[in-house]
Structure 1
Amino acid sequence: MPRDPFDYIIVGAGTAGCLLANRLSADPSKQVLLLEAGKKDNYIWIHVPVGYLYCIGNPRTDWLYQTEPTPGLNGRSLRYPRGKTLGGCSSINGMIYMRGQARDYDNWARLTGDDDWTWQNALPDFKAHEHHYRLDGGADPQTGDNSRFSDLHGGGGELRIEKQRLRWDVLEAFAAAANEAGIESTEDFNSGDNAGVGYFEVTQKSGWRWNGPKAFLRPIKNRKNLTVWIESQVERLVFETTQSGATRCTGAIVRRGGDAVTVRAKSEVVLSAGAIGSPQILQLSGVGPAALSKAQGLDVVADLAGVGENLQDHLQIRAVFKVKNAKTLNTIANSMVGKAKIGLEYVLKRSGPMSMSPSQLGAFSRSDPERAHANLEYHVQPLSLDAFGEDLHPFPAMTASVCNLNPTSRGHVRIKSNRFDDAPEISPNYLSTDDDRHVAAQSLRQVREIMSKPAMQKYQPQEWKPGVEFQSDDELAKLAGDIANTIFHPTGTAKMGRADDPTAVVDTRLRVRGIEGLRVVDASVMPEITSGNTNAPTLMIAEKAARWIKMAG
């Protein structure tokens, strides 16, 4: 039966949804409903950092999406993880805190015509929720001054950001080799220019994953005006025609405990279901390309051609090198004694391999000298395996994964039926442009150059994948299609834009075009993907949106 109306309904308790719930429920006069299709985040492997290996591909925590066969990947279909639990992708991601580059946000402002999205105007919204370890102890012990970090980072927010609790000699050697290849060291990837090599900072606290619920929901668990429903999946949105003839979103039909429950919002419905979930819900509700709605037997509520289009993602190419005279996770974790030592170190110290994010060392560089900015991101690991969730290789090895930060390929997300519980068609269209194929080839060449530098030679690196016999652009681009995989950063499928952009789904305040009372607040609104991991930018977007929603009343 229908529930009493809430002021705000937030669809999706992921990265953006948890922050929005915190901010919007701060006003005790407002009733907030947060909906999550998955279960509680009380699965142990969510919280142990290395547990991502047991969360990805697990129906307890993952939507288990698959992409369509992709020509650029030589016909392969990829597993496409998306978080299905409280915290969403913040509960299963790589925990890397990475804002991207200042030029990303300045470009958003140019594309949308709204200076609120510039780097300088985004920076306060990054800082607002940060609890950055660099600001824990007051002044920098070496310089006596911490202003260079406090100008860029926040110290009083809910999201804990720490340095990693481990060190590997082979990673130190790779960093030195990157220096020899002309990539300078950096101590902060989040200053607006992330060019350089260094260790990633992570969303962890004392060796535990620090996800959205820990940051934004647990501190407010006693707020009487916040209602959280888990295992509650939205079937479609509900619309009404106002007295002025406008279309207004007034709620949603939610599948909960086997029943279809209608919930209503007096002020706004906010979609924060991610770059796959949000366009799927819009399309199921008749908001999207009219031809798609009609083909699935749905009434057209709003003909918005851009819903589900403009899909962008980071595709990583995993180059694996066998090494000698080196300690790697392959050699440690492939024995019962080694596994026992790893477990004991984590229990006693919350450090070591079980505290690892999927990638520890990072580097940002240019694929070609004429590129104006770093357009490659490395994720370097003291281990190797065929794919996440599979066994480590039985030989000592390390992996240097590299991705094109600014892909020109564009894909789509489209419903395949009018059933809410059917997965949509996900077609990233990777490596479909000449530029993306060229960057892929150049990135593999750069990996080889770094591994050939003197700093790495004590480990005698030997390329195992893709193989030194492949050298030409065509060979390397084809190989990239054979071995590349998603790095789990889908964006852009409900992009914001100018009023005269026919493909824009939301305006610069993230309101869905032509519909009152409905916004989209997640990575799908990005007009172009950021030059780095996408969790931090999504939080910034949510911080801005929360302020605008409250201003609107």
Structure 2
Amino acid sequence: MTDGRTSFDYIVIGGGSAGCLMANRLSADPKNRVLLLEAGKPDTYHWIHIPVGYLYCIGNPRADWMYKTQAAKGLNGRSLLYPRGKTLGGCSSINGMIYMRGQARDYDKWAELSGDDAWNWENSLSDFKAHEDHYKLDDGSDPATGDNSRFSDMHGHGGEWRIEKQRLRWDVLDSFADAAAEAGIEKTDDFNSGDNAGVGYFDVNQRSGWRWNTSKAFLRPAKSRENLTIWTEAQVEKLTLDKDADGQLHCTGAKVHRAGKPVSVSAVKEVVLSAGAVNSPQILQLSGIGPSALLKKHGIEVVKDAPQVGENLQDHLQIRAVYKVKGTKTLNTLANSLVGKAKIGLEYVMKRSGPMSMSPSQLGAFTRSSPDRTHANLQYHVQPLSLEAFGDDLHDFPAMTVSVCNLNPTSRGHVRIASGDFRDAPDISPNYLDTDEDRKVAAQSLRQVREIMAQPALKAYEPEEYKPGIQYQTDEELAKLAGDIASTIFHPVGTVKMGREDDNTAVLDPHLRLKGVNGLRVVDASVMPEITSGNTNSPTIMIAEKAAGWILAGQ
């Protein structure tokens, strides 16, 4: 297919985690002419593919939209960097590579909120498994027991989305896992069975020590299809909306800026908006679908007054506690010398292992913030390193970071256009720590970190609290300190939420069709009515798997 064609059966906007799968599935039938639009460049930047390269992709316009949040009261007036992938593969090209589904209760709640059992855990599990290629099933058995039945019930093999063990371990992390067990958090070998409570090493989306993004997984095998066209550096200005013969709004395509020139493209069947929790509501608002007062303020004609477009923003805020340690190696000590850096580089070149193969967080834990909780509502990301802030140099002393986040925040924010120009960044306001409940959980989580660090398993390292500081003890002090040291863990969701037909707060119906507009579906993390209890990348891919099935079945 030539680039000159502008009419297609399906147009997928956004070549990220959801969009790459959508392009693959929709183009699998050679009768379907599919266009995939990506505002960023191809994923040819070498740092995308080396796992530790996230350090050079986040905050780099080659792969990141370079967004920032508005100053937040809960963060004591601070604004945060808000990385979003701007390249083929989207956030899967710059994220932490952690494979995490969340909890069964997340999906059962989605089914309740949407009124559709297709979203429950059992049905969503089949969509997760449909594209999985899990290492525990590589030889047909679990290496530990020789029995694969437990894993085959929960995981898939032979799909596009590769899941592997991490290729390094750290003594100090093993000891933290022992300490967590001493504090009552049982060890686990699988966070993805529906109940992720426990402590263990994260599984990652890698293949043989290389990052495995959705571009490699889903676009690479589909690129040779004559019915699939991929345009990169093609940013959508707005959707084109007309009225059917019966007066119903219909999305017929999009206006796109490609190589600095405007191009109009049309879709015979559907437009699929997969631009993410920030860009999908932005594109809808720029197209005249959104809160009428906001649109009028920026000189945009109101095509459909949809007050909830851009609202309901949820994200995981991680509180980064730092502890100095003694008598053990951490990345601080290894990477702060030329010899150490040379050894790290050589190990990766020779074995594809070691620190260059590692995800930002290696060890994880899920547990309850207090005994009255019925499920794990905290997630730990534990790292054998420390720094003042993301992007800064490592500290010159051996240390570890114990980051903990509230999995079920009650604070809600928004994404709203800041002007009528599609090139301008939107107003992103997550409103972190905006509720008493979230501040309470923040204080509880910091106390729990201290409890784990005081266990016998870590005594040999003589851990010393560097941040936030042992002098801070009251709930008020800890909540305020959380605002000083916390940062986003890059999981924005919920800004174009789906729900029941009669739910006025839901923008989409249960099959992700935009209410009141034919021919338009939203398929990405923005559709989540509530955030999942863990990292959000793989749930987003599952959403795309489910939606692709509906589209192809005419549902």
TM-score normalised by structure 1 residue count: 0.99
Partner-residue secondary structure (3-state), 1:438 = helix
The question of 1:225 aligning with 2:243 is answered: no
Shift of 1:390: 1.4
Partner-residue secondary structure (3-state), 1:529 = coil
Aligned pair partner of 1:485 in 484, 487, 493: 487
Aligned pair partner of 1:376 in 375, 378, 389: 378
> Counterpart of 2:427 in structure 1: which amino acid?
E
Partner-residue secondary structure (3-state), 2:333 = helix
Superposition map of 1:354-393 within 5 A: 354-393=356-395
Aligned to 1:172: 174
Please say if residues 305 and 502 of structure 1, whose CA atoms lie closer than 8 Å, have aligned partners that are also in contact.
no
Aligned pair partner of 2:254 in 205, 230, 252: 252
Shift of 1:106: 0.4
Shift of 1:3: 4.3
Alignment partners' CA distance in 2, 1:328 and 1:178: 19
Shift of 1:244: 1.1
Partner-residue secondary structure (3-state), 2:99 = coil
Aligned to 1:148: 150
Please say if residues 9 and 33 of structure 2, whose CA atoms lie closer than 8 Å, have aligned partners that are also in contact.
yes
- 1:158-181 CA-partner distances (Å, limit 9, x unpaired): 011000000100000000000000
Aligned to 1:457: 459
> Counterpart of 2:215 in structure 1: which amino acid?
P
Aligned to 1:95: 97
Please say if residues 314 and 493 of structure 2, whose CA atoms lie closer than 8 Å, have aligned partners that are also in contact.
yes
Aligned to 2:535: 533
Alignment partners' CA distance in 1, 2:221 and 2:500: 38
> Counterpart of 1:299 in structure 2: which amino acid?
E
Shift of 1:140: 2.7
Shift of 1:299: 1.0
Please say if residues 181 and 450 of structure 1, whose CA atoms lie closer than 8 Å, have aligned partners that are also in contact.
yes
Aligned to 1:312: 314
Alignment partners' CA distance in 1, 2:144 and 2:212: 29
The number of residue pairs the alignment matches comes to 553
Partner-residue secondary structure (3-state), 1:52 = helix
Query: CA 1:463/1:141 → structure 2, altered by over 3 Å: closer, same or farther?
Result: closer
- 1:440-492 CA-partner distances (Å, limit 9, x unpaired): 00000000000000000100000000000000000000000000000000000
Aligned to 2:521: 519
Superposition map of 1:239-388 within 5 A: 239-388=241-390
Superposition map of 1:435-446 within 5 A: 435-446=437-448
> Counterpart of 1:208 in structure 2: which amino acid?
W
Please say if residues 48 and 354 of structure 1, whose CA atoms lie closer than 8 Å, have aligned partners that are also in contact.
yes
Please say if residues 363 and 379 of structure 1, whose CA atoms lie closer than 8 Å, have aligned partners that are also in contact.
yes
Query: CA 1:136/1:2 → structure 2, altered by over 3 Å: closer, same or farther?
Result: closer
> Counterpart of 1:313 in structure 2: which amino acid?
D
> Counterpart of 1:457 in structure 2: which amino acid?
K
Alignment partners' CA distance in 2, 1:33 and 1:237: 14
Aligned to 1:19: 21
Aligned pair partner of 1:215 in 214, 217, 236: 217
Alignment partners' CA distance in 1, 2:390 and 2:339: 23
Partner-residue secondary structure (3-state), 1:373 = coil
> Counterpart of 1:50 in structure 2: which amino acid?
V
Shift of 1:551: 1.3
The question of 1:54 aligning with 2:56 is answered: yes
Shift of 1:142: 4.2
Please say if residues 404 and 436 of structure 1, whose CA atoms lie closer than 8 Å, have aligned partners that are also in contact.
yes
Choose 155-164 or 385-394, whichever is displaced more: 385-394
Alignment partners' CA distance in 1, 2:157 and 2:238: 40
> Counterpart of 1:528 in structure 2: which amino acid?
E
> Counterpart of 2:501 in structure 1: which amino acid?
A
Shift of 1:387: 2.0
> Counterpart of 1:82 in structure 2: which amino acid?
R
Alignment partners' CA distance in 1, 2:490 and 2:478: 22
Aligned pair partner of 1:182 in 178, 181, 184: 184
Shift of 1:498: 1.1
Shift of 1:388: 2.1
Query: CA 1:477/1:152 → structure 2, altered by over 3 Å: closer, same or farther?
Result: same
> Counterpart of 1:38 in structure 2: which amino acid?
G
Please say if residues 142 and 151 of structure 2, whose CA atoms lie closer than 8 Å, have aligned partners that are also in contact.
no
Shift of 1:333: 0.2
Alignment partners' CA distance in 2, 1:423 and 1:455: 47
Aligned to 1:40: 42
Query: CA 1:64/1:141 → structure 2, altered by over 3 Å: closer, same or farther?
Result: closer
- 1:365-404 CA-partner distances (Å, limit 9, x unpaired): 1000000000000000000012222110000000000000
Please say if residues 345 and 352 of structure 1, whose CA atoms lie closer than 8 Å, have aligned partners that are also in contact.
yes
Please say if residues 2 and 261 of structure 1, whose CA atoms lie closer than 8 Å, have aligned partners that are also in contact.
no
Aligned pair partner of 1:494 in 489, 492, 496: 496
Shift of 1:144: 3.1
Partner-residue secondary structure (3-state), 1:552 = coil
Aligned to 2:84: 82
Partner-residue secondary structure (3-state), 1:201 = coil
- 1:292-312 CA-partner distances (Å, limit 9, x unpaired): 111111111111111000000
Please say if residues 6 and 264 of structure 2, whose CA atoms lie closer than 8 Å, have aligned partners that are also in contact.
no
Unaligned runs of 5+ in 1: none
Choose 495-504 or 274-283, whichever is displaced more: 495-504
Alignment partners' CA distance in 2, 1:27 and 1:2: 22
Aligned to 1:70: 72
Partner-residue secondary structure (3-state), 1:219 = coil
> Counterpart of 1:118 in structure 2: which amino acid?
N
- 1:306-341 CA-partner distances (Å, limit 9, x unpaired): 100000000000000000001000000000000000
Q: What is the Cα-based RMSD across aligned positions, in Å?
A: 1.0
Unaligned runs of 5+ in 2: none
Please say if residues 345 and 351 of structure 1, whose CA atoms lie closer than 8 Å, have aligned partners that are also in contact.
yes
Alignment partners' CA distance in 2, 1:387 and 1:216: 34
Please say if residues 136 and 143 of structure 2, whose CA atoms lie closer than 8 Å, have aligned partners that are also in contact.
no
Alignment partners' CA distance in 2, 1:307 and 1:100: 25
Shift of 1:250: 0.3
Shift of 1:143: 3.0
